[in-house]
Amino acid sequence: MVYKIMNSRFRIFLESAIISMLILIIGFSFGLYVESNRNDKIIENYKNYEIQALDLKLQNYYYQIMDSSSCKQAIEQNFQFAEDIYLTGLELEKFEELNQITDELLREKKRYSLLKTELWLNTLLLKKKCDASFDTIAYLYAGDPTNSRIVAEQKIISNVLKDLKKEKGNLLVLLPVAGDLGLNAVELQKRVHNVTRLPVIIINEEIVLEGFNSIDEIKKYLRF
Amino acid sequence: MNFFTWVYIFLFFFGIFFLTIFMFLHYRNRYRLFSSPAFTKHYSVSFLVPAYNEQNSLVETIEAIVNIDYPTDKKEIIIINDGSKDNTKEIALELVKKYSNVKLLDKTNSGKANSLNEALKKATGELIAVVDADSYPQKDALLKMIGHFDDSSVGAVTSRVLVKNKPNWLGKFQVMDYSIIAWTRKLLDFVDSVYVTNGPLSMYRTALVKKLGGFDPKNLTEDIEITWHILSEGYKTRMSYDAIVYTTVPEDFKTWVKQRVRWNLGGLQTVQKYGWAMFQKGAFGHFVIPYVTASFIFAIIGFILFFRYIWIKGSYNFFSWYYSLQGYPFWRYFDYTVSFTLLLFLGICFFVLAIWYYNLGFRNSETGNKSVIKIVAYSFFYRSLYVIPLIIAIYKLARGDIRWYTK
């Protein structure tokens, strides 16, 4: 049958099908290659952050047991780590949107959420021990929103917080954490702060603001 | 991978597949585009000109037919006045007086297919040539078409339709559209898949059309239906790309939609009627029916995806207007990043092939080279409008509301 087709003018259909399949295979191959590269980058970064997080945790133990003479250095490192992890978090969100073939990023998203929660707790300890002069904003958002209203709201809140972080620099630790991934550590934080709906922002572990709030409203609750 | 990604891949794959077929057809046959078999025999030809309220164009149409290069004694022209409410009948009578080979068949209004069937009973020619009363064949059109009938397997031959009037943007887009339609039809000719013998000028074997029972009065596009009927009987249909007929196209959007609704309705009716022949032997079952059916399905899926996209983006914007009013816009400049994705790759391949394909089409038509901007405007703007009459047609078909819409 194929031989018969290849010897007729209808071989064009077979040739076109082969070319279209080739284009599809090239697209899939490149897509897989690019996506796995992106995933690898996120996984690789995570490994480094894991070490950094452990390092910070151990430093905190040290300050709790010993003295607070090196608080400045610890705060600086905490800030640097928060900055790095925040930027990678943004990258992860972007990659998650771009990935069409693979679905491996959910696990990484969970890991990063735990890492950010750890950073949050670390920041709390640092604040208490070192009497640090900075604010913390934990932004708990819906990781996979299906409601358009929430998507719009989260996009705006994210923009507002980005602007705030840009303005405040090292006076603010911003911790965006997906709040609906079923992670116990995050659920615990939600219970502690009576969070019943997402998105919320928790300012200095005291003030819980639900939904959208303007920059000026948020600033009212900041100390620095 | 989510469901919609699969749908996009499916659409892009088949889009690329069909475009590749057309590109192959073009490059393998580019030197044969304008060639037609020389005619060896003077077949007698009956021109059937159905007319309903055509007082403004009838004279010019008949004179164009009278002036066609072909022996007068071999030409018979039958004007069918389909119960016109204007002066069509009076004008036709004048033409009968003026030209000896022009006849008038006056009847009550019953539609184009019935008019053609009535005229078919009176036609004496070996071949019939159907000419719309607002269309104007070129002098050499017949000579470029008639040679095909030397092949006894050929049942019908169609021509290249070009636009006569182009007063506004819609007319200009239709000039481009008709060029692409004609060029695509010619390419399909190389694989025996000409599935429309257009109303402005097409020729048929009289005996064959009579044997098939004439034109289907229930179908809104009797030209598509008769072509599929001929193909389903194992005959071939051909297209002479160098046989040109000019036609009058809608000048306003409302009339354009009405015309296209009729085309779509007729097309859907035809697919329904001949669906049984899907995947049966030959180009008709293996290509024509699946291709036309797929075109309808892909257009509908495309519309759903487009609507879904607009709905999602629209709802984001709707819910964010409150924040935007407070100075917090949803979209920001430089928020977008372009990165490699499978769909982006397939989309670019499809887009490049489509632009290339249209460009080849224009280069091989009377429009000549078109700028990329015009081609992009044609593909993204004008071709997107296709979906409006299609949706209306599906709605009407579902409600059983089928009637002649253009007049």
Last residue of a domain, one of A132, A167, A194: A132
Given a cut of 90, is residue A150 above it in pLDDT?
no
> What is the arithmetic mean of pLDDT over B172-196?
93
- Over range B374-393, report the average pLDDT: 90
Q: What are phi and psi of A176, to 5 degrees?
A: -80, 125
The amino acid present at B326, given as its one-letter code, is Q
For residue A199, whether the previous peptide bond is cis, meaning omega lies within 30 degrees of 0, is yes
Put simply, whether A90 touches B (Cβ < 8 Å) is: no
As a whole number of angstroms, the distance between CA B375 and CA A205 comes to 58
**Residues of A whose CB is below 8 A from B20:** 15-16, 19-20
User: Given A100, A132, A164, which residue is the final one in a domain?
Assistant: A132
Nearest CA in chain A to B314: A148
Please indicate, yes or no, whether residues A111 and A151 belong to a single structural domain of this protein: no
Q: DSSP letter for A214, please.
A: -
With helix as H, strand as E and coil as C, how does chain B read? Answer: CCHHHHHHHHHHHHHHHHHHHHHHHHHHHHHHCCCCCCCCCCCCEEEEEEECCCCCCHHHHHHHHHCCCCCHHHEEEEEEEECCCCCHHHHHHHHHHHCCCEEEEEECCCCHHHHHHHHHHHCCCCEEEECCCCEEECCCHHHHHHHHHHCCCEEEEEEEEEECCCCCHHHHHHHHHHHHHHHHHHHHHCCCCCCCCCCCCEEEEHHHHHHCCCCCCCCCCHHHHHHHHHHHCCCEEEEEEEEEEEECCCCCHHHHHHHHHHHHHHHHHHHHHHHHHCCCCHHHHHHHHHHHHHHHHHHHHHHHHHHHHHHHHHHHHHHHHHHHHCCCCCCCCCCCCCCCCHHHHHHHHHHHHHHHHHHHHHHCCCCCCCCHHHHHHHHHHHHHHCHHHHHHHHHHHHHCCCCCCCC
- A37 touching B, CB under 8 A? no
ipTM: 0.80
Q: How confident is the model over B51-110, as pLDDT tens digits?
A: 999 999 999 999 999 999 999 999 999 999 999 999 999 999 999 999 999 999 999 998
For residues A152 and A84, membership in a common domain is answered with: no
C-alpha pair distances (Å), B183 with each of A166, A183, B368: 58, 61, 12
More confident call, A82 vs B248: B248
Structure tokens at B213: 């029972």
Query: Hey, which residues 101-130 in chain A have their CB within 8 Å of chain B?
Result: 101, 103
Please give the pLDDT value at position A145. 79
Most confident by average pLDDT, A102-106, A139-143, B211-215, B365-369? B211-215
What is the SS3 assignment for A182? coil
| CATH code (residue A194) | 3.40.30.10
Question: Do A141 and A224 lie in a common domain?
Answer: yes
Sequence letter at residue A11: R
Test A103 with B1 for CB contact under 8 angstroms.
yes
CB A131 within 8 A of CB A74: no
Tens digits of residue pLDDT in B285-308: 999 999 999 999 998 898 888 888
User: Is B191 close to A159, i.e. CB distance below 8 A?
Assistant: no
Structure-token pair, residue A172: 């603010």
Per the structure, the count of domains in chain A is: 2
Chain A: residue whose CA lies nearest to B323: A156
Dihedral of the CA atoms A81, A82, A85, A91 (nearest 10)?
Answer: -130
- Rounded to whole angstroms, the Cα distance separating A60 from A163 reads 30
- Which residue carries 């950010």 as its tokens? A116
Decide if B328 and A13 are in contact by the 8 Å CB cutoff: no
Report the pLDDT value the prediction gives residue B211, as an integer from 0 to 100. Answer: 96
The reported pTM is 0.81
Amino acid at B340: F
pLDDT for A4? 61
CB contact under 8 A, B320 and A155: yes
Measured between beta carbons, which residues in chain B are less than 8 angstroms from residue A98? 339, 341
Q: Are B187 and B269 in contact (CB under 8 A)?
A: no
Mean pLDDT estimate for chain B: 90
DSSP state of A5: H
Q: Does B24 contact A16 at a Cβ distance shorter than 8 Å?
A: yes
**Does A160 touch chain B if contact means CB atoms closer than 8 Å?**
yes
Proportion of chain A above pLDDT 70, given as a percent: 85
Task: Write the pLDDT tens digit of every residue in B326-357.
Answer: 777 666 655 666 667 788 889 999 999 999 99
Q: Which of A9, A30, A156 sits opposite B323 (nearest CB)?
A: A156
Query: For residue A69, what is the DSSP state?
Result: T
Which positions 161-180 of A are in contact with B (Cβ < 8 Å)?
none
- Looking at residue A70, what is its pLDDT? 66
Shortest CA distance from A99: residue in chain B? B341
In the block, which residue shows the tokens 């069909």? Answer: B18
My answer on whether A43 and A152 are in the same domain is no
CA B217 to chain centre: 19
pLDDT tens across B210-257, in order?
999 999 998 989 999 999 999 999 999 999 999 999 999 999 999 999
Residue A179, Cβ neighbours under 10 Å: how many? Answer: 22
Same domain, A33 and A86: yes
Give whole-number Cα distances, B103 to A7, B62, B237, B335, in Å: 50, 11, 28, 70
Q: What percent of chain B has pLDDT over 70?
A: 96
Instruction: State the first-to-last Cα distance of chain A, in angstroms, to the nearest integer.
Output: 79
Q: Does A34 touch chain B (CB under 8 A)?
A: yes
The per-residue pLDDT for B335 is 60
Residues A159 and A117 reside in one and the same domain: no
**The domain boundary residue, chosen from A110, A132, A154:** A132
Structural domain span for residue A37: 1-132
Average pLDDT, chain A: 80
Rounded average pLDDT over B170-190: 93
Residue B405 has pLDDT above 70, yes or no: no
Is any Cβ of chain B less than 8 angstroms from the Cβ of A152? yes
Identify whether residues A21 and A117 lie together within a single domain: yes
Q: Do A166 and A113 have their domain in common?
A: no
* Helix H or strand E segment including A209: strand A207-210
Contact status of B318 with chain A (Cβ, < 8 Å): yes
Same domain, A84 and A140: no
Domain shared by A154 and A199, yes or no? yes
Domain B43-252: CATH superfamily, name plus number: Spore Coat Polysaccharide Biosynthesis Protein SpsA; Chain A (3.90.550.10)
Q: Read off the pLDDT of residues A43-69 as tens digits, 9 standing for 90 and up.
A: 777 777 777 777 767 766 666 666 656
Contacts of B266 (CB under 8 A, 6+ apart): B219, B220, B221, B222, B224, B225
Q: Residue A223 gets which letter from DSSP? A: -
Q: Report the CATH number that the domain containing residue A80 is assigned in CATH.
A: 1.20.58
Percent of chain B with pLDDT over 90: 67
Sort out which chain B residues have CB atoms less than 8 A from A159's CB and list them. 328-329, 332
For A153, nearest residue in chain B (alpha carbons): B320
Q: What is the pLDDT of residue B337?
A: 62
Of B16, B18, B316, the CB nearest to A151: B316
